[in-house]
Amino acid sequence: YFNIFGPKQNPDNPYAAVIPLFCRAFIEDIQPLINGDGTTSRDFTFVENVLHANDLALFTDSADALDQVYNVACGDQVSLNEMVQMLRDITGKNIQANHGPERPGDVKHSKADISKIKTRLGYQPKVLMQDGLRVVYEWNKKMYEAKQLQTQN
């Protein structure tokens, strides 16, 4: 699986992934921190795509598809700069990223080859990055607002 994301990822976790952290930054109207110049890219995969791929693998009747290892992803790359732009588009907020130093040893680019899972299982990602990001942003916003209401009462 490549960089799975979806609702219920906690931005307060010390090991929080970049997507919930960036969503929280946009909700709070602060600059998200990008390590490096923002060209680092990943093949972000919405959790529903993972469920879809697992269903295909579980219920296949094709002998050619059994006992195989598959890359589950979208087969696309999104840079951190592009993700920030997507959040600007989703929220209508013109928040700029804060760029810090690159993290030593960080992989610069990651993109899955999903040709095997497409061919053998008929897999196609159902939810693309921007659509999944919108779902995650809205979920995080709802949770943030609920938490704010709790602290006011």
Under DSSP, the state recorded for 64 is G
**Percent above pLDDT 90 for the chain:** 91
Q: Would you place residue 1 in the very low, low, confident or very high pLDDT band (cuts 50, 70, 90)?
A: very high
Q: Between 15 and 89, where is the model more confident?
A: 89
CA atoms within 13 A on the CB side of 63: 0
Please, which pLDDT band fits residue 153 given cuts at 50, 70 and 90?
A: low
Put simply, whether the predicted model's pTM sits higher than 0.85 gets the answer yes
CB neighbour list of residue 134: distance below 8 Å, 6 or more residues apart: 90
pLDDT per position as a tens digit, 84-139: 999 999 999 999 999 999 999 999 999 999 999 999 999 999 999 999 999 999 99
- CATH numbers and ranges of domains, the chain: 4-152 (3.90.25.10)
pLDDT band, very low/low/confident/very high, at 151 (cuts 50, 70, 90)? confident
Cα gap 8→6, rounded to integer Å = 7
